[in-house]
Amino acid sequence: MSFVEYGDTIKDGDTAIVFLGHESMFPVKVQHGTVTQTKYGVIRHSTDLIGKKYGSKVTCSKGGWVFILHPTPELWTMNLPHRTQILYSTDISIITMMLELKPGSIVCESGTGSGSLSHALIRTVAPTGHLYTVEFHQQRAEKAREEFREHGVEHLVTVTNQDVCKNGFGVSNIADAVFLDIPSPWEAIGHAKSALKAEGGRICSFSPCIEQVQRTCLAMEEYGFTEINTLEILLRVYNVRTISLQIPDLGQAAEDNSSSGFDSSNPSHQGSPCADLQQGTVQFKSGVPLREVVGHTGYLTFATKS
């Protein structure tokens, strides 16, 4: 396996995702002779994992079972060890599309952070593109290099440990796209422009605060970027539930207990509703929004160099 190429069976050295159920999962590094503890008991890598198909159900020592999944950037994003605040797949999706990334694209990124976006970028530009990622925090840069090695994508990425605002991306005139997720992106717009190809390219800056966006937009305009556009994307997740609503007793039950009258007078229910007047409830399927959701991650400002 690697993060850019699917494999069928689990091999020694792979990074796999142990799926315990409902958003509960974690990554493991598969190694001969190693064991992993789960709440359902122990998983022995040599016998339980290596050689098995990805997507298999693996029975743990206490008799419970888990699924072992092939890693993807999206699963990694949900499970990676946080060293910083990270970007999630909803933002990553629109960033990837709006930067027009595809196999062969050359991308510059700063900062590397925990590598959530980096993995997604590498996946998209492989096998002929490249990611130049800049991280000013030495330990984080080193950790990112290590992860890229473990995930079999080191040939697709160059991690540079420097301050992008002072020293830029370490490359010039080669990038198709630049992405910035730093506290003062306006200080890096000049460097971004020189990293982009002479014939042009796309840029994106992610900032949580509108004041940052304000300054970034001014800098972009100053440096001649066009098509400057700021947007925000939010994900709304729905739980699928069967809902039962009680039918009020209006004193009619005794008079008329055929359900046909009720059904025709109630067009609001959807799916395959089931009215049971004996029990006095109506059932229907509903997509129920979560009680609390992410209301803001950051503003995304896109622009074109042409």
211 CB-near residues (< 8 Å, 6+ apart): none
Backbone angles phi, psi at 9, to 5 degrees: -110, 155
> ω into residue 127 within 30 of 0, thus cis?
yes
CB of 257: closest distance to another protein in angstroms? Answer: 28
Nearer to another protein, 10 or 144 (CB): 10
Instruction: Give the x/- contact pattern for another protein in 120-149, rule: CB under 8 A.
Output: x--xx-xxx---------------------
**Could you tell me which stretch among 139-147, 162-170, 256-264, 283-291 binds another protein (CB under 8 A)?**
283-291
- Amino acid symbol at 92: I
C-beta separation of 135 from 112 below 8 A: yes
Beta bridge partners of 29: 15
Draw the binding track, 206-225, toward another protein (x: CB under 8 A; -: no contact).
----x--xx--xx-------
| One residue of 34, 84, 93, 162 binding another protein per CB under 8 A | 93
Q: Which helix (H) or strand (E) holds 177?
A: strand 177-180
| CB closer to another protein out of 253 and 274 | 274
Assess 193 for contact with another protein (CB under 8 A): no
CA distance 306 to 158: 26
Which residues within the stretch 22-61 sit at the binding site for another protein (CB under 8 A)?
A: 22-23, 40, 53-57, 59
Counting contacts by CB under 8 A, is residue 72 touching another protein?
Answer: yes
CB 277 within 8 A of CB 245: no
Q: How far apart are CA 272 and CA 262, in angstroms?
A: 15
39, 20 contact by CB (below 8 A): yes
Cβ proximity to another protein, 124 vs 160, nearer residue: 124
**Residue 170 lies near another protein (rule: CB under 8 A):** no
Residue 65 within binding range of another protein, rule CB under 8 A: yes
> Smallest distance, Å, CB 90 to another protein?
6
